[in-house]
A and B are shown apart, each in its own frame.
Chain A
Amino acid sequence: ETGVTQSPTHLIKTRGQQVTLRCSSQSGHNTVSWYQQALGQGPQFIFQYYREEENGRGNFPPRFSGLQFPNYSSELNVNALELDDSALYLCASSLRSGRAVNEQFFGPGTRLTVL
């Protein structure tokens, strides 16, 4: 069973640029959630994708967007990068079955630095 993987591991960008982060969900999972973890803070929910549609969003501006693909992998896109976007971005996959959503399994994260 393959766990959640994320790429790249590290990324350095400059203000105003755009970035795409990728996540492959665990085998059998159909739901992907993205979290932002700033230094010294707990993860904050960005959004969740289920069946290729956004299924809930946290308090993040529209320049944070995402995609989910038919194989349940996902991308997080951030436009017009700001210094405060520097953080560890975590992807978590889970299985939504009926009305229940089970445990979220986290990937190792992508460390984004904005200069």
Chain B
Amino acid sequence: AQSVTQLGSHVSVSEGALVLLRCNYSSSVPPYLFWYVQYPNQGLQLLLKYTSAATLVKGINGFEAEFKKSETSFHLTKPSAHMRDAAEYFCAVSDRGLTGANSKLTFGKGITLSVRP
């Protein structure tokens, strides 16, 4: 079984400050890992994904994440927060190498990011 833990439900940073959103995963097989962002009253938008290539993954809007197998982590960072980054962020895990049968995404509970002016 797979699972994702996102510690803390709310992170608040000042505009221009570093953003760090934590994600730890549990998987019996090498995972695919994803970060999604959800703005109010909208669906999920993919920020970035890890699929076994480089361990440091760059995504949209200046976000990046590093896969650390030894720590079972996939933390999301952005060097300088912008007001428009305020949203809900979800980390998700999917089994690697599945044929497609039951290739579901397992999500964490999400973290709300607030950005102070």
Contacts and interface: CB of A to CB of B under 8 A. Distances in A.
Interface of A: 4, 31, 33, 35, 40-45, 48, 50, 55-58, 90, 92, 96, 99-101, 103-109
Contacts of B98: 101
Contacts, number: 65
Interface of B: 4, 9, 36, 41-46, 49, 90, 92, 97-110
A106 B45 contact: yes
B100 A45 contact: no
Given A33-B105, A90-B44, A104-B105, 20 more contacts: A33-B104, A35-B105, A35-B107, A40-B9, A41-B109, A45-B104, A48-B104, A55-B102, A56-B102, A56-B103, A57-B102, A92-B105, A99-B99, A101-B100, A101-B103, A103-B46, A105-B46, A106-B36, A106-B45, A108-B42
Contact of B100 (A42, A43, A50, A57): A50
B110 A41 contact: yes
A40 B103 CA distance: 24
5 contacts: A31-B100, A42-B109, A42-B110, A44-B107, A56-B102
Nearest to A100: B100
A102 to B, nearest CB: 10
Contacts of B44: 43, 90, 92, 106
B101 A45 contact: no
A4 B44 CA distance: 11
Pairs of residues from A and B, 5 with the lowest C-beta to C-beta distance, nearest first = A56-B102, A42-B107, A45-B104, A106-B43, A106-B44
Contacts of A41: 109-110
Nearest to B103: A101
A43 B90 contact: yes
B24 to A, nearest CB: 14
B106 A55 contact: no
A4 B102 contact: no
Nearest to A41: B109
Nearest to A108: B43
A58 B106 CA distance: 10
A35 B44 CA distance: 11
